């Protein structure tokens, strides 16, 4: 069923920070959730205004795992997000009222960005699991480096990818120019569009819930819940697999 975003909008009080897209159908519409006004400004310049909306979140969203309903209700960030999506939460979730086809979490390619992404995924898992089941939640993959030599320019998503490209793609003569992006707000909007937002050239990771829902729920509670000893136990159990720690 095709959803009319315009009629949905009339029923909602949309957050002021939302830069909405102009098309009326939800099918094909995308919402980019970004951290901070700086990244939000770059994303608004880089987007396709017809089909791509941008919602900047100032600060880190509340960790909803273990948070009271009162604390959640008092969170402006959560209120803005729920209003922008229009589909309700938990038992009141209505797929037909979801105003976007894709919800894309777009955070910096660093530890803080990963933490914000984890908090957002936790929110969707707890409050809108059917949104994930419907295949609507994605993670953007912004690059960390831009590497150029002569007429060749490539982007590296992390340090390991940078090393791989240096050993395979930039082995010729000539100076290699390398730019490390401090964050999405520091990236020229043309580069952000090319690498992260344009459907023609971007890479998205779709968020899915494992078949074993209860095991997933237990893992989320261990990592994001109110018991620090559970996180400590998880780190002890999995530390053998950590080879590079970004702190």
CA distances from 91 to 100, 164, 210 (A): 19, 47, 21
How many CB atoms are located within 10 Å of the residue 144 CB?
Answer: 18
CA distances from 237 to 65, 213, 217, 225, 245 (A): 22, 21, 18, 17, 16
Taking phi over 0 as left and psi of -120 to 50 as alpha, with beta for the rest, 88 belongs to left
Question: What are the residues facing 19 on neighbouring strands?
Answer: 54
Torsion, Cα of 228, 247, 123, 38 (10° steps) = 150
CB 32 within 8 A of CB 102: no
CB 37 within 8 A of CB 4: no
**Given the residues 95, 97, 101, 110, the one annotated as active site:** 110
Is 212 tagged catalytic? no
Is 112 tagged catalytic? yes
Is 211 tagged catalytic? no
**Given the residues 20, 30, 80, 108, the one annotated as active site:** 108
**Given the residues 20, 35, 80, 194, the one annotated as active site:** 35
**Given the residues 112, 133, 169, 212, the one annotated as active site:** 112
Is 37 tagged catalytic? no
How many CB atoms are located within 10 Å of the residue 66 CB?
Answer: 12
**Which residues are annotated as catalytic?**
35, 108, 110, 112
């Amino acid at each position: 069923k095709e959803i009319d975003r315009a009629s949905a909008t009339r029923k909602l009080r949309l957050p002021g920070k939302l830069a909405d897209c102009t098309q009326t159908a939800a099918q094909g519409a995308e919402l980019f959730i970004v951290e901070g006004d700086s990244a939000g400004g770059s994303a608004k310049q880089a987007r396709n205004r017809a089909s791509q909306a941008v919602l900047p979140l100032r600060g880190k969203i509340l960790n909803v795992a273990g948070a009271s309903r009162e604390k959640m209700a008092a969170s402006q960030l959560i209120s803005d997000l729920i209003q922008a999506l229009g589909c309700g939460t938990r038992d009141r979730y209505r797929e037909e009222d979801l105003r976007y086809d894709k919800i894309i979490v777009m955070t910096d390619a660093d530890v803080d960005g990963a933490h914000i992404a984890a908090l957002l995924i936790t929110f969707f898992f707890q409050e809108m699991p059917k949104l994930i089941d419907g295949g609507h939640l994605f993670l953007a993959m912004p690059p960390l480096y831009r590497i150029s030599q002569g007429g060749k320019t490539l982007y590296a998503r992390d340090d390991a990818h940078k090393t791989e490209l240096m050993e395979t793609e930039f082995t010729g003569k000539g100076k290699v120019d390398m730019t490390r992006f401090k964050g999405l707000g520091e990236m020229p909007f043309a580069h952000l569009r090319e690498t992260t937002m344009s459907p023609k050239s971007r890479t998205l990771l779709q968020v899915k819930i494992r078949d074993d829902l209860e095991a997933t729920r237990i893992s989320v509670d261990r990592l994001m819940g109110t018991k620090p000893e559970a996180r400590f136990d998880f780190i002890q159990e999995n530390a053998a697999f950590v080879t590079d720690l970004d702190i």
